[in-house]
Amino acid sequence: MGAYILDFCALRAHLVVEVDGSPHSRQQGYDALRDQYLAGSGMRVLRITNDQVRHDLPSVLLAIRAALKQP
């Protein structure tokens, strides 16, 4: 989207799901600018970590489902 590559995107729901690994802890400024751009484009960003996906996938799926239901 724009100059950014998204991990997952549900266009109709205006939802971006970003799966963040340890490199993201060193690029918080970049992520903030990216999130601001996405919000300005009408998108919501749900950030989850690699560890959440690996160790608690059911909770990740519930969070995504809940975000998809939000207006």
pLDDT by position in tens, the chain (length 71): 888 999 999 999 999 999 987 655 567 788 889 999 999 999 999 999 999 999 999 999 999 999 999 87
**Strand arrangement of the beta sheet that strand 44-49 belongs to:** 8-10, 15-20, 44-49
**DSSP reduced 3-state for 3:** coil
Q: How far apart are CA 59 and CA 35, in angstroms?
A: 23
pTM of this prediction?
0.82
Element housing 12 (H / E): none
Strands 15-20 and 44-49: parallel
Q: How far apart are CA 11 and CA 9, in angstroms?
A: 6
